[in-house]
Amino acid sequence: MNRRKFLTYGFAAGAALALAPDAHAATVQASLSIEPADVEMIDGVVVFQVLFFGPEGPRPVLRATQGDQVTISVRNNDTRAHGFAIPGVPAATIASIAPGATRSVTFTAPRGGSYLYIDHTLAPVNRLLGLHGAFVVAPRDPRTAAGTVTPFARAAQTPAIAALFDALGTSERFPGRPWTPDRERIWLFSQIDPVLNARVDAGQTIDPRAAAAAFAPRYFTLNGKSGFDAAHDPASVAKGYVGEPLIFRVLNAGLSTNSPHIHGNHVFELSGVNAQGAQIVRSNIIERDTWIMAPLDRKDVLLPFVRPNDIPAAAYPPVQEKFPFKYPMHCHIEMSQTAGGGNYPQGLITDWELLGPSLPAES
Ligand SMILES: [Cu+2]
C-alpha cells in the first residue's frame, strides 16, 4: 500500500493532451497507467480510488482527429485485473489487463464528437472506482456548406446544426463571433460510494449486480472535483464576453442520473447517444435550462453567451450591477448537491462567467 499515490482534492484535473500527433500524419499514440490512489475529498475524507494517469496527472483528456489511427497502451499498476473500452467504438477495447501487465489497442478514430473511455470490466464497479476519462475527436470535415466551423463532421451535420452554427455571430439573436474549436469545456460527471471503494480496497470479491443495486453515492464530482473546488476550477468554469459561444462536452461516467441546470443563458442540446453508445446529432435542437444525463450519457450542448434574457433590453447593459456576471450550474437531482451525506453545496456544481456586454474592441 506504500506504493499508492496520494492525491489532495485540489490536484489538477489533468487537461493534458495525452495523444501526441505526428505533424500531419494520421497516427496518434497515448500511454496510460492504471494507479491505485488515496484521494482527499472536499470534506477532508480520504477515499480509495483507482484512476487512469497520463504524463500530466490523473484522468487525462485524450484527443484525436476523425480517421486517425490511434494506439493507446495501458499499464496496470493495480493489484487487480482491469480493462479499457470506449463506449460506441467497439474496436477500441482491451478485454483484460493483468496486474503489472501492459496491453495496447489500435483503432480508427470515430466521427467527431465527445466520448468516454472507461474500464468496462466488472461493470459498473471499475468505472465507479475512478477508471474513466474523456476522449474528444475533432471532425475531419467540420464546415457547413456556408463554410462555418462546427464540432461535427459535414456528413453528420443536420440542417438544424448547420443553421444554428451559421447564425452564430451573423444574426441579431447571436451577435459577436462564430464558434471556434478552442471554445469548449469538458464536464465529466461521476459519483463515489466510499463503502464500495473500501470493499474493493479490502480485497473483497464484488458481485457487480449487487454492488450496483447497493450503490449509495456520497460524492458527486465534475472533472474529479466538487463544490467550491469545482466552482473555482479553470478547467470547468467557462468564461467569455457576450458573443463568444462555447460548447460543453457533458459526460456521465457514473451510475446516478444527473440533471445539470444553468443560470443566465439556456443551452442548445446538439447531440446525444443511442442505446449502443453511438452519437446522435440532433435534427430538432431544443433550448434547455435543464437536461438529463443518464449513466454513460454524452451530450454536447452550446452555451450561446448572449444577453441574459432576464435583463430587460431597455436596462442593458446594466449600470448598477457590474460585470463580470457569475452564474451557477447546479444539478437538479437534489441528492447531488451535497458531499459526505449533507455538506451543502459541495456536490455537482460549477460556475460560468459573462465578462462583459459585448466583444472588446480589436486591438
Ligand atoms: Cu438554479
pLDDT (0 to 100) of residue 188 = 98
Give the bridge partners for 136, in sequence order: 63, 114
- Give the Å distance between the CA of 336 and the centre of ligand 1: 13
- Give the Å distance between the CA of 353 and the centre of ligand 1: 15
pLDDT band at 17 (very low <50, low <70, confident <90, very high): very low
pLDDT in tens, 213-265: 999 999 999 999 999 999 999 999 999 999 999 999 999 999 999 999 999 99
pLDDT (0 to 100) of residue 3 = 58
CB burial class (10 A; 0-12, 13-18, 19+) of residue 211?
buried
pTM (predicted TM-score)? 0.94
pLDDT in tens, 141-175: 999 999 999 999 999 999 999 999 999 999 999 99
- Give the Å distance between the CA of 69 and the centre of ligand 1: 43
Q: How many residues does the chain have?
A: 363
pLDDT in tens, 286-332: 999 999 999 999 999 999 999 998 888 899 888 899 999 999 999 99
CB 69: neighbour CB atoms within 10 A?
A: 14
- Give the Å distance between the CA of 266 and the centre of ligand 1: 12
Burial code (b: 16+ CB inside 10 Å, e: under 16) for 310-321 equals eeeeeeeeeeee
218: alpha, beta or left, given left = phi > 0 and alpha = psi -120 to 50?
A: alpha
pLDDT (0 to 100) of residue 13 = 44
Q: Which amino acid is at 259?
A: S
- Give the Å distance between the CA of 103 and the centre of ligand 1: 45
pLDDT in tens, 58-84: 999 999 999 999 999 999 999 999 999
- What structural domains does the chain harbor? 5-138 (2.60.40.420), 154-186+217-354 (2.60.40.420)
pLDDT band at 87 (very low <50, low <70, confident <90, very high): very high
Q: Nearest to residue 62, comparing CAs of 236, 186, 222?
A: 186
- Give the Å distance between the CA of 329 and the centre of ligand 1: 7
Asked whether 348 and 226 are in contact (CB, 8 A), the reply is: yes
pLDDT band at 8 (very low <50, low <70, confident <90, very high): low
- Give the Å distance between the CA of 292 and the centre of ligand 1: 15
Q: Is the pLDDT of residue 30 over 90?
A: yes
- Give the Å distance between the CA of 244 and the centre of ligand 1: 23
* H-assigned helices in 121-253: 125-128, 159-167, 194-201, 208-214, 227-231
pLDDT (0 to 100) of residue 24 = 52
Q: Is the pLDDT of residue 212 over 80?
A: yes
Average pLDDT, the chain: 93
